Amino acid sequence: MSYLFDPELAAAVAMMPVVEISDVPTARAHVAEMFASAFGEPDRSGVQVRDELVPGPDGAPDVRLRIYTPDRLVAPAAIYDVHGGGFILGSIDSFDGPNLRLARELGVTVVTVDYRLAPENPYPAPLEDCYAGLVWVAKNADALGIDPDRIAIHGESAGGGLCAGLALLARDRGGPSIAFQYLGVPELDDRLDTPSMRAFTDTPIWNRPNAIVSWDSYLGPGRRGTPDVPIYAAPARATDLTGLPPAYVSVMEFDPLRDEGIAYAHALMHAGVSVELHAFPGTFHGSAMVEQAAVSRREADEALVVLRRALKI
Query: Taking 80 as the threshold, does the pLDDT of residue 73 lie above it?
Result: yes
pLDDT at 19 over 80: no
Confidence of residue 131 (pLDDT cuts 50, 70, 90): very high
Higher pLDDT, 293 or 23: 293
CA-CA distance, 61 to 133, in Å (whole number)? Answer: 12
pLDDT class for 155, splitting at 50, 70, 90? very high
Mean per-residue pLDDT, 277-300: 96
pLDDT in tens, 221-270: 999 999 999 999 999 999 999 999 999 999 999 999 999 999 999 999 99
Residue 45 has a pLDDT of 92
DSSP 145: T
Helices (H), 140-205: 141-144, 158-173, 195-199
Over residues 100-106, the mean pLDDT reads 97
pTM across the whole model: 0.97
pLDDT at res. 113: 98
DSSP state of 262: H
pLDDT interval class at 35 (50, 70, 90): confident
Give pLDDT, residue 132.
98
pLDDT at 207 over 90: yes
What is the pLDDT at residue 40? 74
What local confidence, expressed as pLDDT, does residue 18 receive?
74
Cβ neighbours around 272 below 10 Å, total:
10
Does residue 30 surpass a pLDDT of 90?
A: no
Query: Which helix H or strand E contains 208, and what residues bound it?
Result: helix 208-219
Considering only CA atoms, give the Rg of the chain: 18
pLDDT band at residue 2, thresholds of 50, 70 and 90? confident
SS3 73: coil
Taking each helix axis from N to C end, the angle separating 125-139 and 158-173, rounded to the nearest 10 degrees, works out to: 60
CA distances (Å), 183 to each of 128, 131, 136, 260, in order? 18, 16, 22, 12
Q: What is the pLDDT of residues 156-204, one digit of tens each?
A: 999 999 999 999 999 999 999 999 999 999 999 999 999 999 999 999 9
| pLDDT score of 38 more than 80 | no
The catalytic residues are 157, 255, 285
Phi-psi region at 107: left, alpha or beta (left = phi > 0; alpha = psi -120 to 50): left
Counting residues of the chain whose pLDDT is more than 90, the rounded percentage is 90
User: What's the whole-number mean pLDDT along residues 90-104?
Assistant: 95
Averaged pLDDT for residues 49-78: 97
